[in-house]
Amino acid sequence: MLIFLWAESQGRVIGLHGGLPWHLPADMHYFKTVTTGHTIVAGSKTFASFPRPLPNRKNIVVSHQPATAFPENVSVLHSLPAVRAYAAARPQEKIFVVGGAQLFAGLLDDVDFLYRTRIDAGFDGDTWMPVIDYSQFTLIDQQPGIRNEKNPYDFVFEQYQRH
Ligand SMILES: NC(=O)c1ccc[n+]([C@@H]2O[C@H](COP(=O)([O-])OP(=O)(O)OC[C@H]3O[C@@H](n4cnc5c(N)ncnc54)[C@H](OP(=O)(O)O)[C@@H]3O)[C@@H](O)[C@H]2O)c1
């Protein structure tokens, strides 16, 4: 199953200068908890924003570049049809598409679940989540984030399932 996992602020902003516009450790913790033991699929720009392949998860990068351009413990897929085929061959596996915008846009028709962290604050950005038709999805879970000194925004963890 294909799951989108991302955080967005007001106006669907998701990125700035190759990284995240905000520092929200509670969301990083959520990302780690949800994805550990599963598979993550990242576009090469998003992969480049990680300090290293993420541990305890299968890391797949989507890129036109040869596999030799990436660390050995990373799998490389060279097209969106290849991602679809990978997921179709593993229906029981949780495959988290973790961005960025190019991957989200290209796989929007294929995604089964949406795990969105909605940050109720405004940030400058240069990368946006594509428009999603939420009428095709049911909100199945919603947990408020805890705002505190280290996480100084209102935010909500949402999970949607395609009908
Ligand atoms: N807020 C969030 O939750 C979140 C999540 C993820 C990312 N982000 C942010 O989003 C930004 C990056 O997003 P982005 O949209 O610019 O880039 P991206 O989707 O991460 O990566 C784009 C790259 O992926 C590869 N790619 C994309 N489509 C492909 C296809 N059909 N076939 C083969 N390769 C393909 C290409 O790599 P090559 O050029 O190597 O061929 C392309 O340059 C960063 O700022 C990041 O921090 C935010």
Contact (Cβ atoms closer than 8 angstroms) between residue 153 and residue 121 = yes
pLDDT at 38: 98
In CATH terms, 2-158 corresponds, of 3.50.50.60, 2.60.40.1080, 3.80.30.20, 3.40.430.10, to 3.40.430.10
What's the pLDDT tens digit per position in 85-99? 999 999 999 999 999
H helices of 4-162, where?
25-35, 44-48, 80-88, 101-107
Question: What is the pLDDT, as a whole number, of residue 33?
Answer: 98
Query: How close is the Cα of 48 to the center of ligand 1, in Å?
Result: 9
pLDDT tens for 97-123 read 999 999 999 999 999 999 999 999 999
Q: Where are the domains of the chain?
A: 2-158
pLDDT for 92: 95
For residue 50, report the distance from its CA to the centre of ligand 1, in Å.
12
What is the residue with the minimal CA distance to atom 36 of ligand 1? 63
Residue 24 CB burial class (10 angstroms; 0-12, 13-18, ≥19): buried
Interval between CA 106 and ligand 1 midpoint (Å): 11
Task: Give the torsion sign (CA, 134, 114, 118, 80).
Answer: negative
